[in-house]
Every structure is written in structure tokens, then in C-alpha cells.
């Protein structure tokens, strides 16, 4: 994908080890610093998956400061899904039969000191271009809730159970040792819609707006101090009124 400009922002793929490190630095500020870890100015969030992924960056064009990033892997079809990040936590055997290109997105974050909605719009514009250029038919990944106590996310999980569980033919099964089976445990709970939406991670809200679906359980990730759900978006199933989220074009 070629770099492009949108207003004051430039969107491009990381091209050098220094670019990747800048993305890893932003990830640390977003995912680790919030837990109170001491920052010496050089801390990064990095793992072995980084070498298998491409890294998308949204930066201020004039200064090069990275404000948003995410990493992604392109799979020819579901037969390759065992190599995904998500497969470490979920049994994805059902999705091995998905016979079209797939894109796993992860570590999506925006600099905590910047609130301009055009930053996220620029990132989704990049996703749109990659999806269209590569014939992607499914987006997937892990959507994370901050904190590891199910009670604080109960309304959100109850809403996911009531409205957004994945189709049985694709539904991931349990693999991780520590999970919260919200589809079972919250089956009698009526969620408070306002509290549920307030607790829903922003990225997950975007997925759900496009007709996305989730696993029936959340994985507790003590390393990241989060709980996450597997999330899938089938491109052909996106409601017509929402397709603009993946069909914008740059300035």
C-alpha cells in the first residue's frame, strides 16, 4: 500500500527497524504505562509476532511523530489461521474452513495525549485501502477490555452475549487456561445499554458497527492486564449504511 496524506496526517507502512521501534514505543505508552510502570524514555512493547507482521503508522506529516499504529497479518485463507496471534488464545479450528483472504489486526492504539477523531479515521482509511487492494473478506483480532475482573465489564459482556455472538459455524472454542464464559454466566442478565456502551472498547465499537461478532468467552490476559474477546467482521456482511467506514478515500 502506498503512503497517503489526510489533512495534517501521513499514513504509511513501517519501512525500517526505527519505524517499528517507534510503533512499539507508542504501544508501550498506550498499553503498559497505564498500569503504572515506570518509564525510562526507551520502553517498548514488543513480542515475537512483530517480525511476522506489517505495521501501519499514522503520523504528523511535518514532524513524523507517530500518533496511531496497528500491526497486521495477511492470510490467504483460514488454513493459515493457526499462525495468527489470536490462535495463541482461541481454538480457531472452525475458521480453518474460511475460503478467502483474511486480515488479522492487533495492538491498535492512539497516543493518549491526542484526541483528534481524524487520527482514527485515517487509520480506518488505511484498513479500507488494504482490504480493497487485497480482496480481504474477513477482519479479525482480539478486542481488549482494560482490567481482569469480569464484574467491571458485566453489562458490556451481557450485551455482547445478547446481540453480537458469532455464528456457530465460525465460533472459536476455548483454548486459554483462564477464561470468562460470559455467554453462559450472564445468560439471565439484562444489560444496561448505557453502561454497556460506555464500557465497550472503542475499537470493538467500530467492529460492531460494521456487523462484527465476538466469541462466547473472554480470555484473561495477565501480561497485558486485560480481558479480550475474539472479534470477526465479514466484509460482505457489513450493512450498506456502514460500508462507508471501509470505503472512504483520502484527500
- Domains of the chain, residue spans: 4-246
d(CA 42, CA 159) in angstroms, rounded, equals: 39
Helix, strand, coil % over all residues of the chain, rounded to 5: 40, 25, 35
Q: Which of these, 6, 27, 248, lies nearest to 129 by C-alpha position?
A: 248
Q: Quote the pLDDT of residue 246.
A: 59
pLDDT value of position 248? 53
pTM of the model: 0.93
Q: What's the pLDDT at 39?
A: 84
Phi-psi region of 107 (alpha: psi -120 to 50; beta: other; left: phi over 0): left
> Which pLDDT score is estimated for 89?
98
Tell which CATH classification among 3.40.630.30, 1.10.3720.10, 3.30.950.10, 3.40.50.150 matches the domain 4-246.
3.40.630.30
Please, what is the end-to-end C-alpha distance for the chain in angstroms? Answer: 16
pLDDT tens-digit profile, the chain (251 residues): 899 999 999 999 999 999 999 999 999 999 999 888 888 888 999 999 999 999 999 999 999 999 999 999 999 999 999 999 999 999 999 999 999 999 999 999 999 999 999 999 999 999 999 999 999 999 999 999 999 999 999 999 999 999 999 999 999 999 999 999 999 999 999 999 999 999 999 899 999 999 999 999 999 999 889 999 999 999 998 888 777 655 554 43
For residues 182 and 218, the answer to whether their CB atoms sit within 8 Å is yes
Q: Are the CB atoms for 207 and 237 separated by under 8 Å?
A: no
| 3-class secondary-structure state, position 64 | coil
Supply the pLDDT for residue 239: 82
Q: How many CB atoms lie within 10 A of CB 32?
A: 17
The pLDDT score that the predictor gives to residue 52 is 95
d(CA 67, CA 188): 41
Q: Which residue has the cell 477523531?
A: 117
pLDDT given for residue 244 in this prediction: 66
Burial state string for 104-134 with b = 16 or more CB within 10 A and e = fewer than 16? bbbbbbbbeeeeeeebbebbebbbbbbbeee
pLDDT score recorded for residue 250: 40
Amino acid at each position: 500500500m502506498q503512503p497517503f496524506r489526510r489533512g495534517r496526517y501521513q499514513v504509511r507502512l513501517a519501512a525500517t527497524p526505527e519505524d517499528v521501534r517507534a510503533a512499539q514505543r507508542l504501544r508501550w505508552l498506550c498499553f503498559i504505562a497505564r498500569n503504572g510502570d515506570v518509564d525510562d524514555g526507551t520502553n517498548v512493547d514488543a513480542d515475537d509476532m512483530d517480525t511476522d507482521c506489517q505495521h501501519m503508522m499514522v503520523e504528523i506529516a511535518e514532524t513524523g511523530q507517530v500518533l496511531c499504529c496497528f500491526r497486521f497479518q495477511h492470510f490467504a485463507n483460514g488454513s493459515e489461521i493457526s499462525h495468527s496471534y489470536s490462535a495463541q488464545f482461541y481454538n480457531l479450528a472452525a475458521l480453518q474452513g474460511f475460503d478467502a483472504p483474511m486480515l488479522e489486526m492487533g495492538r491498535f492504539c492512539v497516543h493518549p495525549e491526542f484526541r483528534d477523531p481524524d487520527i482514527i479515521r485515517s487509520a480506518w482509511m488505511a484498513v479500507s485501502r488494504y482490504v480493497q487492494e487485497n480482496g480481504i473478506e474477513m477482519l479479525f483480532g482480539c478486542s481488549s477490555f482494560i482490567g481482569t475482573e469480569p464484574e467491571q465489564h458485566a453489562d458490556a459482556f451481557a450485551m455482547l452475549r445478547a446481540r453480537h455472538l458469532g455464528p456457530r459455524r465460525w465460533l472459536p472454542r476455548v483454548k486459554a487456561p483462564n477464561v470468562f464464559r460470559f455467554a453462559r454466566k450472564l445468560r439471565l442478565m439484562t444489560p444496561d445499554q448505557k453502561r454497556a456502551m460506555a464500557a465497550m472498547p472503542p475499537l470493538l465499537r467500530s467492529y460492531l458497527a460494521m456487523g462484527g461478532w465476538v466469541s462466547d468467552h473472554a480470555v484473561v490476559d495477565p501480561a497485558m492486564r486485560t480481558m479480550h474477546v475474539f472479534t470477526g467482521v465479514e466484509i460482505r456482511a457489513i450493512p450498506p449504511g456502514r460500508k462507508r467506514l471501509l470505503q472512504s478515500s483520502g484527500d
